[in-house]
A and B are shown apart, each in its own frame.
Chain A
Amino acid sequence: MLDTATILTGLGDAFQPVTLLYVLLGVMMGQFVGAVPGIGPVMATAIAIPFTFGMDPLAGIGFLVGINKGGLVGGAIPAVLINTPGTPDAAATALDGYPMAQQGKPLKATKMALYSSVTGDTFSDIVLITVSAPLAILALHMGPVEVLGLMLLAFAVIASLMGASIARGLAAAALGLLAAMIGTDPEHATPRLIFGNFEVYDGLPLAAVAIGMLAISELLSRLARTRSAQAATIDIPRDQPPEDRRVSFAEYWACRFTMLRGAVIGTLIGALPGIGSTAAAFISYASAKQVSVDRSSFGKGNIHGIAAAESANSSVMGANMIPMLTLGIPGSVSAALIVSAFMIHGVQPGPFLFEQQGRLIYGLFGAMILANLMNLLVGQVGMRLWVRVITAPESFVLTSALLLCFAGVSLAAGGLFGIGVMLTFAVLGFLMTAFGFSVVVFIIAFFLGPRFEISLSQTLALLNGDPLQLLAYPFGLAMMMLAPILAVWLVGRRA
């Protein structure tokens, strides 16, 4: 499908100084925000999207990918040092990381987290690079019926797995789809649910909705909980023996199978929409414990525990991009945000992406691999610096993030109207989270809504009122039938 010249030119674009600079900036910012409990890479990506407007597409998307990858590494720092994961993905890392830090080896624990995170991430990026192009060729043969079936399957999986109950998962998906209905009806071009606001003729601005639901609602929740300005104090002793401050190659090599297992688990889970990196980290941790000859040492500072959790949670990111780049279906909120950045830069994700924007995609692949390398370098140098970040008061960090959201949304979504939309959805996101509804399901449904409606409309036109016509589309039909079966099975497993 793609000639070698395009692939090599794309990979070469990643080495342009501007792209390298933005990827490096993204990684540094990601590690920084990952280290601050409460911000995290998803929120940082949402805030950063509007600021990529003026950038070259590859530099902008590379910057966002850098934030995501850096955030996964940064999230482990507070998990290890103060037993408070900077991101939910790092919760499993705290199980052995914190006890190891308590034993006087905080730097060893954070470095093992860094090395295993980069290893897992690189593994999943290699899978992404090798698998996505052939998958995209297959996806090119899919018509509206198959796309509709695939979306129904994605909705079924996501709604079944997220939220406090299946009813809540379905309700969150329905609310997301309802929000996507606001604007102009795609088949008849008539305004719908706009309540006289002509600003929403093209639909609600994705950046305002995403930042409101993901960032502002979380910031509100944390601001409401913050009552004291005190921050945790962290002490990293300077007179430690060298073996307690670093990870030797022998120690790293001893964890190779644990990391490989974690990377495979994370990649498989990441390729499925909706399950997420937190689940991958815990499954990998449990499997490492299961096969270990010294199970009792897990939870007491076993280096394999850190390797298992970090390699799995970081490998989810690359795999998340597989359904996004090949089918245009984001597997997670991070992927949905990166998709929105693609669209802001005039690039439509999906199977045609490889054909029409091959150079950009291979540039992105190059940037991802470079981001892993930079994660390693920045992490080596920055660990002691990020440790200081954790001591910044939450009141300052949260308020600064709020102001950034105001400024970012005003840039991305048309000034004060966009900020109003953001605040409305922040309140909705706060209420949904408080009552156990998944905002992730909402955002993914909101994002896929317009495409879902168009696919449904085209499918109905193709069937011409005769459901038996579906038999002519066996793959689409199989997906449609599999959706409820899979949902019931997943709900049964959850129960």
Chain B
Amino acid sequence: MQTDRIIGAVLIIFGGLLIWWIIPWQAEEVGYGWLRPRTLPYIIAIGLAFCGAWMVLSPVAEALPDANWQRAALCVGILVVGLALMSWFGFLWIAPPMALTLMLVAGERRLFWLTVGAAGVPAAIWFCIAVLLERPLP
């Protein structure tokens, strides 16, 4: 119940932000036409706030989900750092350490699988895309 109320409140706040701040800032005001650039975004924002209010007023009994938040955040962090480093060093050099780190985080300790995952798979992808298809990798 508590979770529903919190999510509902977040949706109401997001809807409010869209209506009073984001849409006026990010969509031009046009004085003609039946469907202006802001019309549908406003309707969607009102819809989101309405859904939020619905969840606040009639919550469904549900507990906070157990989604392994810390480990998920760690994986996202690894991917974001990997992406940032790829812009500097490229896929070929960053994909192997990124794959290795992710496999270690997932609990893999066997040398064979670590080698195949961190060296074999990135090399195979690079070969298929850069060499066979002649397309650029980041």
Chain A interface residues toward B at CB < 8 A: 51, 54, 164-165, 167-168, 170-171, 174-175, 177-178, 181, 185, 187-188, 190-195, 216, 220-221, 223-229, 393-396, 398-400, 402-404, 406-407, 410-411, 415-416, 419-420, 423, 426-427, 430, 434-436, 453, 456-457, 460-461, 465
Q: Does B9 contact A (CB under 8 A)?
A: no
- Beyond A181-B41, A393-B113, A435-B7, whether A224 also contacts B33 by CB under 8 A is no
Q: Do A188 and B37 touch (CB < 8 A)?
A: yes
A122 CB → nearest B CB, Å: 33
- Interface contact A174-B44, CB-CB below 8 Å: yes
Q: Contact at B40–A171, with CB atoms within 8 Å?
A: no
Q: For chain B, which range describes its interface: under 10, 10 to 19, 20 to 34, or 35 or more residues?
A: 35 or more
Also in contact, A225 and B117, with CB within 8 A (given A192-B27, A406-B91): no
Residue pairs across A and B with Cβ atoms less than 8 A apart, 6 shown, are A170-B47, A227-B106, A399-B99, A403-B121, A407-B125, A434-B65
Which residues of the partner chain A approach B13 to less than 8 Å between Cβ atoms? Answer: none
Contact of B40 among A164, A216, A430, A453 (CB under 8 A): A453
Contact assessment for A395 and B55 in the assembled complex, using a CB-CB cutoff below 8 Å: no
Q: Given A171-B11, A220-B76, A396-B113, is A404 in contact with B67 using a C-beta cutoff of 8 Å?
A: no
Please, which residues of chain B bring their CB within 8 A of the CB of A400? 99, 117, 121
Interface check B131, CB cutoff 8 A? no
Contact across chains for B51 and A423 when beta carbons are under 8 A apart: no
Are B87 and A416 in contact, CB atoms less than 8 angstroms apart?
A: yes
The reply to whether B52 and A394 form a contact with Cβ atoms under 8 Å apart is: no
- The smallest C-beta distance from A162 to any residue of chain B, in angstroms, reads 14
Query: Which of A181, A223, A419 interacts with B83 by CB under 8 Å?
Result: A419
Q: Are B105 and A461 in contact (CB under 8 A)?
A: no
**Which residues of chain A are within 8 angstroms of B33 by Cβ–Cβ distance?**
187-188, 457
Distance of A185 Cα from B37 Cα, bound (Å): 6
Partner among B18, B117, B129 whose Cβ is within 8 Å of the Cβ of A407: B129
B125 touches A403 (CB 8 A): yes
Bound complex: CA A434 to CA B108 (Å):
25
Inter-chain contact A399/B103, CB cutoff 8 Å: yes
Contacts of B122 in A (CB 8 A): 403
User: Would A226 and B27 count as touching, CB distance under 8 A?
Assistant: no
**A interface footprint on B103-125 (CB within 8 Å = 1, 0 otherwise):** 10111111001001100011001
From known contacts A175-B48, A181-B41, A188-B36, infer whether A223 and B67 are also in contact, taking CB-CB under 8 Å. Answer: no
Beyond A167-B51, A229-B108, A396-B108, whether A224 also contacts B87 by CB under 8 A is no
Q: With contacts A416-B138, A435-B65 known, is A195 near B26, CB below 8 A? A: yes
Which single member of B87, B98, B102, B113 contacts A223 (CB below 8 Å)? Answer: B102
* Alpha-carbon distance A411/B138, docked complex (angstroms): 9
> Are the CB atoms of A224 and B75 closer together than 8 Å?
yes
B27 touches A404 (CB 8 A): no
A185 touches B106 (CB 8 A): no
B contact residues around A165 at 8 Å (CB): 55, 60
For B98, give the chain A residue with the smallest CB separation: A403
Question: What separation, in Å, do the CA atoms of A394 and B105 have in the docked complex?
Answer: 12
Given the known A-B contacts A411-B129, A420-B83, are A188 and B109 also in contact in the complex, defined by CB atoms under 8 Å? Answer: no
Decide if A174 touches B47 in the complex (CB within 8 Å): yes
Select from chain B the residue with minimum beta-carbon distance to A217.
B72
Chain B residues near A395 (CB-CB < 8 A): 102-103, 106-108, 113, 117
**Contact indicator A190/B113 (Cβ below 8 Å):** no
B122 closest partner in A (C-beta): A403
Contact partners of A411 in chain B: CB under 8 A: 129, 135
Q: Which residues of B contact A227 (CB under 8 A)?
A: 106-107
Chain B: minimal CB distance from A460 (Å): 4
State in angstroms the CA–CA spacing of A107 and B33 once bound together.
64
Task: Tell me the bound Cα distance from A224 to B109 in angstroms.
Answer: 16
Q: Is the CB of A423 within 8 A of B67?
A: no
Q: Is the CB of A223 within 8 A of B52?
A: no
- How far apart are A220's CB and chain B's nearest CB, in angstroms? 5
Chain A residue nearest to B30 (CB atoms) is A188
Chain A, Cβ-Cβ closest to B116: A396
When A and B form their complex, which 6 residue pairs have the shortest distance between CB atoms, in order from nearest? A460-B34, A395-B106, A395-B108, A224-B68, A185-B37, A171-B51
Q: B37 to chain A: which residues have CB within 8 Å?
A: 185, 187-188, 190, 192
Chain A residues with CB below 8 A from B103, complex form:
395-396, 399
Contact yes or no, B108 A416, CB < 8 A: no
Q: Is the CB of B41 within 8 A of A457?
A: no
Assembled-state Cα–Cα distance A185/B42 (Å): 14
The answer to whether A193 and B41 touch across the interface, beta carbons within 8 angstroms, is: yes
How many Å lie between the Cα of A177 and that of B122 in the bound state? 36
In the bound assembly, the distance between CA atoms of A223 and B70 in angstroms comes to: 12
**Which residue on B lies nearest to A394, using beta carbons?**
B106
Return the chain A residue nearest B79 by Cβ. A423
Contact of B28 among A181, A190, A216, A410 (CB under 8 A): A190
- The answer for the CA separation of A330 and B107 in the assembled complex, in Å, is 39
The verdict on B19 contacting chain A, using a C-beta distance below 8 Å, is no
Known: A396-B117, A399-B117, A416-B83. A167 touches B54 (CB 8 A): yes
* Contact between chains at A221 and B48 (CB < 8 Å): no
- How far is the CB of B21 from the nearest CB of chain A, in Å? 12
Q: Which residue, of A51, A54, A403, A456, has the highest number of chain B Cβ atoms within 10 A? A: A403
Q: Which of A167, A187, A228, A399 touches B102 (beta carbons < 8 Å)?
A: A399
Among B34, B41, B106, which residue has its beta carbon within 8 angstroms of that of A229? B106
Q: Chain A residues near B65 (CB, 8 Å)? A: 434-436
Q: How does the 8 Å CB contact mask read for B126-138 relative to A, with 1 for contact and 0 for none?
A: 0001000101111
Contacts of B129 in A (CB 8 A): 407, 411
- Give the nearest-CB partner of B87 in chain A: A416
Name A226's contact: one of B55, B87, B106 (CB within 8 Å): B106
B37 smallest CB distance to A (angstroms):
4
